[in-house]
Amino acid sequence: MFKTNTLRTAVAASLATLTLSTPVLASDEPVKVGIMLPFSGVYAALGDATRNGLKMALQEKSSELHGRKIEFIEIDTEARPERAPEIASSLLDRSKADFIIGPVHSGVAMGMLKVLRGKDTVMIVPNAGAGPVTGPLCAPNVFRTSFSSWQPSYPMGKVALDKGYKNVVTMSWNYGMGRESLDAFEESFTAGGGKIVKQMLVPFPQTEFQSYLSEIASLKPDAVFVFFAGGGAVKFVKDYDALGLKGKIPLLGSGFLTEGTIEAQGAAAEGVMTTLHYADTLDNELNNRFRTSYKEQFGKPSDLYAVQGYDTGLLIANALNQLKGDISDRDALINTMANTTINSPRGDFTFSKAHNPVQNIYLRTVENGENKVIEIASPMLEDPARGCKL
Amino acid sequence: MTTSLFFVQLINGLQYGLLLFLIASGLTLVFGVMGILNLAHGSMFMVGAYLAWYFFEHTGSFGISALISAAIALLIGIAMERGLIRHLYRRNHLDQVLLTIGMIFVFNALQSLLWGNDPLGVPVPQALSGAIPLNDVLEYPIYRIFVALLCIAIAFVMYYMINKTRLGMLIRAGESNREMVECLGIDIRRLYTIVFAIGVMLAAIAGVASAPMSSIMPGMGEHVLITCFVVVVIGGMGSIKGAFVAALLVGLVDTFSSVLVPQISSMMIYILMAFILLIKPQGLFSS
């Protein structure tokens, strides 16, 4: 809390000096950025990292905002979908926010969309991967700086085929993100001649995997593809190893399997192969600088969620810069945002017609407790945005 | 299902059931003896797991960490009974529920403040890290067999303690007639403190034992609590023997239903509970 306050003061101070030295001002009104992230509950760590990244980007770019100050209005969603419409309405009507950033959780995203679609504010999703956000429910004023659930999993189908795997068991929790991930994998895998031996859906958020793994062992597939995240991912990878499947049946997954969980998984995660739009170990100048600077400012290592927050900040900063600080014309704002290129630590990305990132998806494998990048599994991959009429 | 897969799943179900018994036994013991409904029981499971992680990080030995964690849990149990629970013996169950739900929030907040919200893990202790091959693909980790045996051992110790020792005699006496025990010059308040602390420690031991085979994360206590209550209700509130049988039953039903009827596996244990309560409204072994 103390750190973010310091940061806020720093942003304000640097902007204040800028204001004094710039004679022509676009507007004295601050740009209002509403933040709807979980700061308590299971996703609290994700919310924190996203907020840190967002503020860090806006501070770094403070000299390019044409004198506009940024005012943050932060509300804790607690990752509770039922609260989302109410909070979004209050940011929209009472606070008159120019931008609303959020959320982490896909259920909350649906609640926010219900209120914000087509409104006079720009909603930027820094994490939630639910397909409909940039699919059937896409809207001009809705952007996403993270990924669609389809994106990280689709390239793995081809990777599996290249490795010579023909029969694969897929497994996930029985909820939106899980099912969408398995479907995306299946789409590219079966198109190339692969066969899904069995799809296993575990009730969310159950973590008793032993009976499922015993069945996988009896099915003897060439490989297993899974989507799990957080605590469930830790338990799954540990069980997979403990029951002796690791080393006999290769484990593939959407990158979230080993994101923020790798330390807790320990040796059990070694060799697990995943696809994702980022890896901490990406060796480019921007990423190295980002990681060093994040660690200095916040005293802990950055992660995927910090990067996504950072890129959200860059998107706002880019738009303000290109429009010379004047965002009163919302059509011009949306147009500028849609056509910008974000120089992200994950590599440059642009936006699709549905306002979802067109980005590299990396193939990674766990080596010595790190997600090591092997190659780009799919360069500049665009979500098909099925059902979007933009 | 082939015969070999059937036996593997049977072992899975029994092992899960034994762990459930270990967690549920403390809950049913406390309810049986003291008539206290402790909703914070799941939180103690969580605390046990987090303590195991914390002391493992600092001592590097899982055995030492387990002993320290169990001792701390015992102290927490004594403090909880002396400071809070004691004042509610003469109140109704609703007041107890209110207090213990409040304790869930307190423990969750403490967990978040002290240890953060990232999932954590503890490696399996070196001495128990091997595995026994079951077939060409599947192995059974020795640590899980060890935990199953530990659960059986604790069940025996509890049985022996309650039926053959003086403490057990007092517990049974206190259960049937509190006033009479007091008239005989026994300090029932001390007895209650001991029983409650043991109940808390059992939950924590279950948490410690599960730490190396699960992920240590926020909210792990609440999930376990619900399953625990199913076990206790099926077995008959307050019956240790009932909890043992019910835990194995729930473990087996949960395991086999997730393989045979995956679509409805998440409700199977509740269907089982409803079915048993229809026939025996007080549970299988209610006193």
Average pLDDT over chain B reads 91
Contact call for A212 and B259, based on CB within 8 A: yes
pTM attached to this predicted model? 0.88
Q: Output phi, psi for A160, to 5 deg.
A: -60, -45
Range of the domain at B260: 3-279
- Count of domains in chain A? 2
- Identify the pLDDT of residue A24: 44
In a domain, B144, yes or no: yes
Q: Verify whether the Cβ–Cβ distance B262 to A265 is below 8 Å.
A: no
And the tokens for B149?
A: 């045996």
For A241-253, give one letter per residue: b (16+ CB within 10 A) or e. Answer: bbbbbbeebbbbb
- CB contact under 8 Å between A264 and B120, yes or no, is yes
**The predicted structure's pLDDT at residue A125:** 97
Q: What is the Cα–Cα distance from B114 to A203, expressed in whole angstroms?
A: 30
Any A CB within 8 A of B154 CB = no
Taking contacts as CB-CB distances below 8 angstroms, the residues of chain B near A206 are 266
The verdict on residue A386 lying in a domain is: no
Domain shared by A317 and A377, yes or no: no
| Closest-CA distance of chain B to residue A41, Å | 8
Instruction: Give per-10-residue mean pLDDT for chain A (390 aa).
Output: 50 51 59 94 86 97 93 93 95 95 93 94 96 95 96 97 97 93 97 96 88 93 95 93 93 95 93 97 96 95 96 97 94 96 97 97 96 96 93
Mean pLDDT, range B203-230, rounded to an integer? 92
Give residue A194's domain range: 150-276+362-381
| A207 and A272 housed in the same domain | yes
Do A102 and A211 lie in one domain? The reply is no
Instruction: With respect to residue A377, please indicate whether it lies within any of the assigned structural domains.
Output: yes
Chain A interface includes B126 (CB < 8 A): no
Are the C-beta atoms of residues A309 and A389 closer than 8 Å to each other? no
How many Å lie between the alpha carbon of B15 and the closest alpha carbon of chain A?
A: 10
Q: What is the CATH number of the domain that holds B31?
A: 1.10.3470
B45 pLDDT above the threshold of 60 = yes
Q: Do B215 and A207 touch (CB under 8 A)?
A: yes
Confidence of residue B172 (pLDDT cuts 50, 70, 90): confident
Q: Where are the alpha helices (DSSP H) in chain A?
A: 2-21, 44-60, 84-89, 106-116, 150-162, 176-191, 210-219, 230-242, 262-265, 285-298, 304-322, 330-338
Q: Encode pLDDT of B112-171 as tens digits.
A: 899 988 889 999 998 998 899 887 888 899 999 999 999 999 999 999 998 899 988 888
- Tell me, yes or no, whether A234 and A373 share the same domain: yes
ipTM (interface predicted TM):
0.88
Q: Which tokens belong to A41? A: 């509950």
Q: Which residue has the higher pLDDT, B92 or A84?
A: A84
| A127 and A200 both lie in a single domain | no
Look at residue B120 and tell me if it is in a domain.
Answer: yes
Q: How far is CA A305 from the centre of its chain?
A: 6
- Which segments within chain B are labelled E, that is strand? 131-133, 139-141
CB contact set of A138 (below 8 Å; sequence gap of 6+): A354, A355, A385, A387, A388, A389, A390
Distance from CA of A298 to the nearest CA of B (A): 15
Residue B286 resides in a domain: no
Helix (H) or strand (E) segment spanning residue B268 = helix B265-279
User: Closest-CA residue in chain B for A39?
Assistant: B117
Q: How many domains does chain B have?
A: 1
A60 shares its domain with A38: yes
CA angle B232, B120, A259 (to 5 degrees): 120
Q: Is B130 in CB contact (< 8 Å) with chain A? A: no
Looking at the complex, report in whole angstroms how far the Cα of residue A207 sits from the nearest Cα belonging to chain B. 8
Q: Both tokens of residue B39?
A: 């909703």
Same domain, A32 and A125: yes
pLDDT in tens, B59-75: 999 999 999 999 999 99
User: What's the confidence (pLDDT) of residue A180?
Assistant: 95
